[in-house]
Structure 1
Amino acid sequence: MSRTTIIDCDPGTDDAIALWLALASPELDVRLVTVAGGNVGLAATTANARAVVGLTGRAIPVVAGAERSLMAPFRFETAVHGQDGLGGVLLPEGPPLAPGIAADAIRDLLRGASPASVTLIGLGPVTNLALAFATEPALVDRVAEIVLMSGAWSEGNITPAAEFNAWNDPEALSILLGLGCPLTMATLDLTAQAFVTPEVVAAMEGRPGGACWRAALAILRALPPSRRMSFRGYPLHDPCAVAWLLAPRLFKGREAQAEVDCGPGPGRGRTVIDRWQRLGRPPNLKLLERLDAPGFFELLAERIAALP
């Protein structure tokens, strides 16, 4: 039985690949894609989401949302994703945006759902999701699980302390961490294990596929190697959150307690994750810690290559 799913994203190269993975997978019944301006600004992220969904041939509404965080403008990451957000990979223009605002569309879908029946996947700053629940908190009873690519228990990637999505809207992340529903987090420490090297890309290039697969390979070839990874390759962050829902056997994790630093200064956006119950507080998430990387890349290739 497939999960009714909302994907909130900010495409972004790895968001694009995560969207293709989700839309290729019968385990997920994606009803709605909502978009924030995180990686490269809302005009580009909405155009990219439309193009990515459109290339699959699926008629899924894409709704624009937050152009900035709850407290400040988003900081963009063009050094990784390029000025266009897709590393310069050109896709055909997708269908037009669906009318409305992301937070309203999220609430509308949840209102019509049964209790504990909707899975939410957050792949960017979670401003849209936070706005939906801050304005109608009773809707949390419709949520089966929230899965986020966010945070880190060690060092960050946008500041020494903070991961990019968490840093861009820590207040929004704090709202989600306090909802009390099942929540799973793929942090930088986990996504670093989805490590893309030239050898990984070369192995995947031998697999035939359609336009979505060819575009995904072009994006993988376009991404720059990471300084954090000694320029040997780069982590593929967002597809890890989707893969958890498709193949939990590929992951190991534990229950943990997390909060996010919303104060000013160099610690802003840090996710303080208590993996060993040192603070004695009840867990509020499942923390993904280990990934079977070969199994992950095989899943990614097998699914996306089957798309049109």
Structure 2
Amino acid sequence: MPKPAIIDCDPGTDDAIALWLALASPELDVRLVTVAGGNVGLERTLANARAVVGLAGRPVPVVGGSAGALMAPFRAETAVHGEDGIGGVALPEGPPAAPGLAADAIRDLLRAAAPDSVTVIGLGPATNLALAFATEPALAGRVAEIVLMTGAWTEGNITPAAEFNAWNDPEALALLFRLGRPLAMATLDLTAQAFVTPELVAALAARPGGRCWRAALSILRALPPSKRFGMRGFPLHDPCAVAWAIAPGLFGTRAVGCEVDCTSGPSRGRTVIDRWGRLGRPANATLLETLDAPAFFDLLAERIGSLG
């Protein structure tokens, strides 16, 4: 049976591709898409999420949420995603946003769900999810697994210490680790293995597909190469989290302990990941360590190519 799923996101170029992957995959029954600011401001991320879901032709409600973090404003990343959040790629206007607020919609869906049944996929700052669970923590019992694109066990990409999503709202992220539910992390170290080069984009462009696949290819062409990788290409972050939810056999994993640095210093947002059990504390996360990249990109092309 497909897994009931909530996707919380901040589209964002890679969020758009991740959403199409989720909506095209029979393993998931995506029942709600919630949106925060993050990669760009909430006005744009919400419009982008609506457009992505609309282009896929799926009747999934899209609900707006937090425009800022629990403790501070979000910092956008327009140098990567462009001022519009999707690299200047034009998408048709999507259906209107569903009424209400993201945290309320998350709680409503979970209240109606069976215990241990809902997969929660977080692709942006964790603010909407934290607000939902902080105000009704018993609803964590309805969650089968939380899957997050967040963190790093080595260096960050927004500061030397921190990954972008974790840095934008570390207090919210820390709350999710304290829920006591199964939680999987696709970190920067994992997503670096989903590495996109011009040669790969050219090969993917030879694969068949409809309007969503053509839009995904346009986004991949629009993304700038990463200085962290010598300008050779860029990592494709958010689809890795969705891939774990639909094809876990693509990954090698390790049970780890993780703590989030919520201080105000230069390490703010760092995910301290104890890969070798040096602290002697119980594991609270599944770390996605390795990825079968060729199979991952085959999955991406096959699934998104199947959309309209």
Q: TM-score, with normalisation over the residues of structure 1?
A: 1.00
Matches within 5 A, 1:53-68: 53-68=53-68
> Are 2:166 and 1:166 aligned?
yes
Match of 1:124, as an amino acid?
A: G
* 1:305 matched residue in structure 2: 305
2-side partners of 1:241 and 1:113: how far apart? 22
Aligned to 2:103, the other structure's residue is in SS state: helix
* 1:98 matched residue in structure 2: 98
Q: What's the offset of the Cα at 1:28?
A: 0.2
Q: Per-residue displacement from partner, 1:47-85 (whole Å, max 9, x unpaired)?
A: 000000000111100000000000000000000000000
2-side partners of 1:278 and 1:163: how far apart? 23
* 1:116 matched residue in structure 2: 116
2-side partners of 1:172 and 1:278: how far apart? 25
Q: Per-residue displacement from partner, 1:29-48 (whole Å, max 9, x unpaired)?
A: 00000000011000000000
2-side partners of 1:232 and 1:59: how far apart? 38
Aligned to 2:63, the other structure's residue is in SS state: strand
* 1:196 matched residue in structure 2: 196
Q: What's the offset of the Cα at 1:247?
A: 1.1
Match of 2:7, as an amino acid?
A: I
Q: Per-residue displacement from partner, 1:216-257 (whole Å, max 9, x unpaired)?
A: 000000000000010000000000000011111110011000
Number of equivalenced pairs: 308
Q: What's the offset of the Cα at 1:208?
A: 1.7
Moved over 2 A (4+): none
* 2:141 matched residue in structure 1: 141
Q: What's the offset of the Cα at 1:265?
A: 1.0
* 2:263 matched residue in structure 1: 263
2-side partners of 1:26 and 1:296: how far apart? 16
2-side partners of 1:15 and 1:189: how far apart? 18
Q: What's the offset of the Cα at 1:135?
A: 0.2
1-side partners of 2:253 and 2:5: how far apart? 22
2-side partners of 1:217 and 1:287: how far apart? 29
- Gaps of at least 5 residues in structure 1 are none
2-side partners of 1:208 and 1:252: how far apart? 29
1-side partners of 2:233 and 2:182: how far apart? 33
Q: Per-residue displacement from partner, 1:247-292 (whole Å, max 9, x unpaired)?
A: 1111001100001000011000000000111000000000000001
> Are 2:76 and 1:84 aligned?
no
* 2:150 matched residue in structure 1: 150
* 1:132 matched residue in structure 2: 132
2-side partners of 1:265 and 1:248: how far apart? 36
* 1:7 matched residue in structure 2: 7
Q: What's the offset of the Cα at 1:207?
A: 1.1
Q: TM-score, with normalisation over the residues of structure 2?
A: 1.00
1-side partners of 2:209 and 2:297: how far apart? 15
Q: What's the offset of the Cα at 1:119?
A: 0.4
Match of 1:105, as an amino acid?
A: A
Matches within 5 A, 1:245-284: 245-284=245-284
* 2:232 matched residue in structure 1: 232
Q: Per-residue displacement from partner, 1:149-203 (whole Å, max 9, x unpaired)?
A: 0000000000000000000000000000110000000000000000000111010
Q: Per-residue displacement from partner, 1:6-26 (whole Å, max 9, x unpaired)?
A: 000000000000000000000
2-side partners of 1:23 and 1:231: how far apart? 31
Q: What's the offset of the Cα at 1:106?
A: 0.1
* 1:220 matched residue in structure 2: 220
2-side partners of 1:259 and 1:115: how far apart? 26
2-side partners of 1:112 and 1:25: how far apart? 23
2-side partners of 1:6 and 1:222: how far apart? 28
> Are 2:210 and 1:178 aligned?
no
Aligned to 1:39, the other structure's residue is in SS state: coil
Aligned to 2:39, the other structure's residue is in SS state: coil
